[in-house]
Amino acid sequence: MKYVLAAFVAVSIGAAIYKALPCCSGDSPAAAAPVTAGAPAELAQTAPAAKPALAVKQASVPPAKIAQKTAVVYYFYTTARCYSCNLIESYTREAVDKHFAQPYNGWRVEFKGLNLDEEVNRHFTQDYWLNSKSVVVQKFEGGKPLNWGMLQSVWQLLGDKEKFMNYVAVETRKVLDSK
């Protein structure tokens, strides 16, 4: 009887710990937190603009980068990550490398994975309305953030690598082609 009680207590503690950890399913608002890496290095701390009208912090940008058109495909994650979270990052990075090795219509596209649990990146949670691990495409021109889009279907397409990578490429192009 003691062993049954001990097993019950152990399972209860395990369930409590499991419930306390951030969810990786993409459905839980508690999953989002801070981020680490940034946009084009000097634009990392710039808030998104265009969609929606939010206050934008301007970063100091070297003159050489001012005229450059850059798009950043962000993968926002938290420190606690599951297999699916790592797979989304891997597939997204691979899609950007494969489909955007060369500039697209004058836009240089790069991938940035950012940990939302880092204090410096926490603002992205509100800037992009994040509620779980997410992929967001943000355009920058002349150091100024332009429009952005969230790739809503990454969790649903995770089971098919080719569809996932094509989705990332198509949605990134839609953001880049939008005015």
Quick one: pLDDT at residue 2?
76
Give the model's pLDDT for residue 179. 83
Which residues constitute the domain of residue 154? 25-177
Number of domains in the chain: 1
- pTM here? 0.65
* Residues of the chain where predicted confidence (pLDDT) is lower than 70: 5, 7-8, 11-12, 14-67
In a domain, 33, yes or no: yes
Predicted confidence at residue 19, as pLDDT, reads: 52
pLDDT of residue 129: 93
Q: Is residue 101 part of a domain?
A: yes
Strand order of the β-sheet with 108-115 is 108-115, 69-77, 134-141, 144-150
The CATH number of the domain where 73 resides is what? 3.40.30
135 inside domain: yes
Can you give the pLDDT at residue 143? 83
Q: What is the pLDDT of residue 67?
A: 55
